[in-house]
Amino acid sequence: MSAPLRVGVVGVGVMGADHARRLARGVAGATLVAVSDPDVARAQELAARLGADDLGSGSVAVVPDPLELIRSDAVDAVVLASPGHAHEEQVRECIETGTPVLCEKPLTTDDASSARLVRAERDGGRPLVQVGFMRRFDPEYVQLRDLLTSGRVGRPLLAHQVHRNLAAPRADFRSEMIVRDSLVHEIDTARYLFGEEVVEIQVITPSPSSLVPDGVADPQVVVLRMAGGAVVTNEVFVGSSTGYEVRCEVVAERGSAVVGRPSGGICSTAAGPHGGAGSWGGALPVDYRERFARAYDLELQAWVDASRRGKVVGARSWDGYAATVVATAGVASLASGRPVVVELDPEL
């Protein structure tokens, strides 16, 4: 298509508003035409601000009903930043109307509904769903994956991931949500870097921080076993009180590599252009919007470019389904303290 992709955004909380701003001001080949949110006043304020700004794309409509926005002839593609429990209905509507959709994680909140969407998209005969695992577009993580797939450091054996937030995003944030809403990024990252599925998960709960609400198991240590035998350890600490930290170290047969250090870039023990000890230092970002700003820029641009070509890039519906299945097994492990085998539907 030669005309700009007309995009609607469903859900204009923190993440959705950030996506809307990018679409209105910074993504080539796209124009923001509509927003939808249960808080109509919030949607109206955002639409007025982005539509009236000299850098904006013109008038932005407010459509209270998200399904009506998806069905609209004035909308070519949709970004879903709504709560996970609403995703199945909204993604299904996109599939049924042939509307490309970038769905923020999680694809859905349970295995069965995610599987239904994978089947619906497959039966529709056209890939339409991209899941918002933005680390797949982060330059450091892309560079790390390229290093691993190049074979220069040999077979990856271990990975260590850290995911710390300044504070929980909601007052009612519970232990299970740490697995479903935070750890889910580490789950997809492990699958992306190793190129294989998670076959087992164990959630371990050390003594909780005294600074988090009573009854919340925070931090959590999670062990993932990959199909090829590698082990991935994960620390998730939602109420760290220090800032937003996300980093990953992979240990392979002939070297290691780290991304996400505050100094930025990739630090590797591999020989050649990735050599050097690197250093720590610098200020911690407050939240994910600052830490992964470039990744979100690249993700949205890649989605728009692919949608205009009738293609899908990045994480697909299967990746969303697989991450949901692993997270569900993680919630079971959180309750029992024991490892839980991950079982993906062999017929999908």
Q: Is residue 103 part of a domain?
A: yes
Whether 270 is covered by a domain: the verdict is yes
- Strand (E) or helix (H) holding 50: helix 40-52
Give the CA-trace dihedral at 107, 109, 110, 114, to 10 degrees.
-20
What does each of the 348 residues of the chain score in pLDDT, given as a tens digit?
678 999 999 999 999 999 999 999 889 999 999 999 999 999 999 999 997 543 344 689 999 999 999 999 999 999 999 999 999 999 999 999 999 999 999 999 999 999 999 999 999 999 999 999 999 999 999 999 999 999 999 999 999 999 999 888 777 889 999 999 999 999 999 999 999 999 999 999 999 999 888 899 999 999 999 999 999 999 999 998 888 899 999 999 999 999 998 666 665 555 444 444 333 445 677 788 888 999 999 999 999 999 999 999 999 999 999 999 999 999 999 999 999 999 999 998
Domain check: are 334 and 188 in the same one?
yes
The domain tally of the chain equals 2
Decide if 348 is inside a domain.
no
The answer to whether position 238 is within a domain reads: yes
- Contact (Cβ atoms closer than 8 angstroms) between residue 194 and residue 228: yes
Q: Are residues 75 and 189 both part of a single domain?
A: no
Domain that holds residue 54: 5-134+295-315
Q: Which of 281, 299, 283, 280 is nearest to 291 (CA)?
A: 283
Pair (151, 258) in one structural domain: yes
Residue 151: CB atoms within 10 A of its CB come to 11
CATH number at residue 170: 3.30.360.10
In this structure, the answer to whether residues 123 and 202 fall within a common structural domain is no
What SS3 string covers 167-214?
CCCCCCCCHHHHHHHHHHHHHHHHHHHHCCCEEEEEEECCCCCCCCCC
Q: Rounded to whole angstroms, how far apart are CA atoms 220 and 178? A: 8
Q: Please check whether residue 347 lies inside any domain of the structure.
A: no
pTM, to two decimals: 0.91
Q: Are strands 101-103 and 77-80 parallel, antiparallel or unpaired?
A: parallel
Per DSSP (E only), the strands in the chain are 5-10, 30-36, 61-62, 77-80, 101-103, 129-131, 156-164, 198-204, 220-226, 231-237, 245-252, 255-259, 266-268, 315-316, 340-341
Whether residue 99 is found in the same domain as residue 44: yes
**CATH code at position 310:** 3.40.50.720
Residue 7 is classified by DSSP as E
Give dist(CA 220, CA 231) in Å, integer: 16
Give yes or no for a cis peptide into 219 (omega within 30° of 0): yes
